[in-house]
């Protein structure tokens, strides 16, 4: 069975879906792997390294995809890539795409995949259960985003993170407020703490209080009238009453903070607006907001996704695709996640469609001309 890896075409994308160490494992399991020339260049993986690992390095997307039965991706395939997959596949019912499709954000892509009867798996839809942890690209990339987010805050803040005792006197530590205690939030807390900051954090799920404290932050929160946990480590919408009480807490904490790092996503996809312009206006002069939910629209009203904005004397950073700023490690983790998914359903050098399997069925977005993912189907009106 042939697997294909293309060069990612999005201008801001530096990652590659499969790295050489994974190529070796796939070839050992009986797969053939074709990699487009230059696919790993921006992540510091050279064509020669892929070749020595057992991959066939092809000069073009067409050659890479010829007779391939599964395309491995980081980002959703472009319209041109989908057309190529449809033309190059051996059999329409046998062609598959595996990657981070984020289907609710890329409905046109899902529609195109479905129309061409391509079976698509999205790693962000994999159930968040123990058995599937090694396949979880969302967690892998969120770890990087949280780490980089804390570093960005430290770089942009016009003061030290740690307490420093000098001959000129003592500099007190910066106060960092982290909103959201998923993987990105916990990593942001841990990184800010390692840098010596005084860290406080909140989450609408009070059950994560222990996790927040375990990585060195002080937990602050409200007592919810209704639980906001929706399972799988995700938070859902709050009631109107709880939203009002949460706004009061956020306003109070933002006013005290030197830097605010926001990481809140509903269902791991869309960002609720939590920080108003009024809250930002009340922050200290020179304070910084790092909106790590910018890919989902942003948690801060003043955020401009992909840009750095200012409101009064406060700087608001809204970086997009932060994992691509660390392409070598991000690609390695992504590649290991994809390998774990493929390996779970491999026998005798082939990937088997075990439709009744909980993990495979959860990750499946389209199959045999049908949108199988419930939320995506509803969004498309199927």
Name all domains of the chain by residue range, CATH numbers in brackets: 2-125+327-380 (3.40.50.720), 143-320 (3.40.50.720)
Enter the DSSP assignment of 17.
S
Q: Are 176 and 323 in contact (CB under 8 A)?
A: no
Q: Which of 28, 52, 133, 239 is catalytic?
A: 133
The whole-number pLDDT of residue 286 equals 98
Rounded Cα gap, residues 364 and 125, in angstroms: 8
pLDDT, average across residues 93-118: 92
Whole-number Å distance between alpha carbons of 254 and 260: 7
Using only the alpha carbons of the chain, give its radius of gyration: 22
Q: Considering the candidates 128, 159, 194, 247, report the single residue annotated as catalytic.
A: 128
| Model confidence at 234: pLDDT above 60 | no
Instruction: Mark whether 133 is an active-site residue.
Output: yes
Confidence at residue 225, expressed as pLDDT on a 0 to 100 scale: 61
Q: Give yes or no for a contact between 306 and 66, defined as CB atoms under 8 angstroms apart.
A: no
Q: What would the DSSP string read from start to end of 302-355?
A: T--TTSEEEETTEEEE--S-GGGGSHHHHHHHHHHHHHHHHHHTEETTEE---T
Residue range 259-309, pLDDT digits in tens: 999 999 887 788 999 999 999 999 999 999 999 999 999 999 999 999 999
pLDDT over 80 (residue 223): no
pLDDT, the chain, mean:
93
- Please name the residue that has the structure tokens 């929706």: 230
**Would you call 246 a catalytic residue per the annotation?**
no
Backbone φ and ψ of 32, nearest 5°: -105, 145
**Tens digit of each residue's pLDDT (9 = 90 or more) over 236-273:** 567 778 888 889 999 999 999 999 999 998 877 889 99
87 labelled catalytic: no
Say what the pLDDT of residue 222 is: 78
Q: What are phi and psi of 230, to 5 degrees?
A: -115, 10
**What pLDDT is recorded for position 336?**
98
Long-range contacts of 208-214 (CB under 8 A, 24+ apart): 208/181, 211/181, 211/186, 212/181, 212/186
If you average pLDDT over residues 195-204, what whole number do you get?
Answer: 96
Nearest CA to 96 among 285, 336, 372, 315? 372
Strand partners, 219: 201
Q: What angle do CA 120, 121, 124 make, to 5 degrees?
A: 135
Tell me, yes or no, if 139 is annotated catalytic: yes
Confidence of residue 227 (pLDDT cuts 50, 70, 90): low
Candidates 234, 245, 282, 329; catalytic one:
234
- In DSSP notation, 151-174 reads HHHHHHSSS-SS-EEETTEEEPPP
CA gap 78, 11 in Å, rounded: 12
Give the Å distances, CA to CA, from 125 to 298, 312, 353.
21, 40, 16
**Could you tell me which residues are beta bridge partners of residue 309?**
316
Catalytic residue list contains 128? yes
pLDDT beyond 80 at 219: yes
Q: How high is the pLDDT of residue 88? A: 74
Determine whether 22 is exposed, middle or buried from the number of CB atoms within 10 Å of its CB (0-12, 13-18, 19+): buried
Question: pLDDT higher for 206 or 121?
Answer: 121
Q: Is 211 left (phi over 0), alpha (psi -120 to 50) or beta?
A: alpha
Q: pLDDT for 367-378, tens place per residue?
A: 999 999 999 999
Sign, CA torsion 117/122/125/130: positive
Residue 141 has pLDDT above 70, yes or no: yes
Angle value at C-alpha 166, between 160 and 169, nearest 5 degrees: 90
Output the CA angle 233-120-56, nearest 5 degrees.
110
pLDDT, residue 89, reads: 65
By the 8 A CB rule, do 67 and 39 touch? no
Residue 87 has, within 13 A of its CA and on its CB side, a CA count of 10
Please tell me the distance from the alpha carbon of residue 163 to that of residue 171, in angstroms, as a whole number. 5
> Which one from 50, 116, 136, 140 is the annotated catalytic residue?
136
Of 27, 36, 39, 35, the C-alpha closest to 1 is 27
Does pLDDT of 229 surpass 60? no
CA distance 310 to 296: 20
């Amino acid at each position: 069975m042939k697997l294909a890896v293309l060069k990612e075409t999005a201008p801001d994308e530096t990652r590659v879906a499969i790295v050489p160490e994974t190529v070796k494992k796939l070839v050992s399991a009986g797969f053939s792997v074709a990699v487009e020339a230059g696919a790993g260049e921006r992540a510091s993986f050279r064509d020669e390294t892929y070749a020595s690992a057992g991959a066939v390095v092809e000069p073009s997307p067409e050659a890479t995809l010829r007779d391939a039965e599964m395309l491995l991706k980081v980002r959703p395939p472009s319209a041109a890539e989908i057309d190529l997959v449809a033309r190059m596949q051996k059999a329409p019912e046998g062609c598959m795409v595996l990657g981070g499709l984020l289907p609710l954000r890329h409905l046109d892509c899902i529609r195109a995949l479905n129309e061409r009867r391509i079976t698509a798996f999205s790693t962000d839809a994999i159930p968040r259960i123990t058995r599937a942890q090694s396949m979880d690209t969302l967690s892998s990339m969120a770890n990087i985003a949280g780490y980089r987010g804390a570093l960005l805050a430290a770089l942009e803040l016009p003061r030290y993170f740690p307490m420093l005792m000098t001959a000129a006197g003592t500099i007190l530590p910066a106060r960092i407020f982290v909103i959201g205690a998923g993987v990105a939030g916990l990593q942001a807390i841990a990184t800010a703490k390692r840098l010596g900051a005084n860290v406080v954090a909140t989450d609408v799920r009070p059950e994560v209080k222990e996790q927040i404290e375990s990585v060195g932050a002080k937990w602050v929160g409200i007592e919810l009238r209704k639980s906001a946990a929706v399972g799988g480590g995700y938070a859902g919408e709050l009631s109107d009453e709880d939203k009002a009480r949460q706004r009061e807490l956020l306003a109070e904490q933002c006013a005290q903070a030197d830097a605010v790092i926001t990481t809140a996503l509903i269902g791991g996809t869309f960002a609720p607006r939590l920080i108003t312009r009024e809250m930002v206006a009340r922050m200290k002069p020179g304070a910084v907001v790092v909106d790590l939910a910018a890919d989902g629209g942003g948690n801060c009203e003043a955020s401009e996704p992909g840009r750095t904005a200012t409101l009064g004397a406060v700087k608001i950073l809204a970086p997009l695709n932060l994992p691509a700023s660390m392409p070598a490690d991000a690609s390695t983790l992504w590649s290991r996640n994809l390998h774990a998914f493929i390996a779970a359903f491999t026998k005798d050098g082939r990937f088997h469609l075990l439709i009744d399997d909980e993990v495979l069925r959860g990750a499946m977005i389209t199959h045999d001309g049908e949108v199988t993912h419930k939320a995506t189907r509803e969004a498309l009106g199927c």
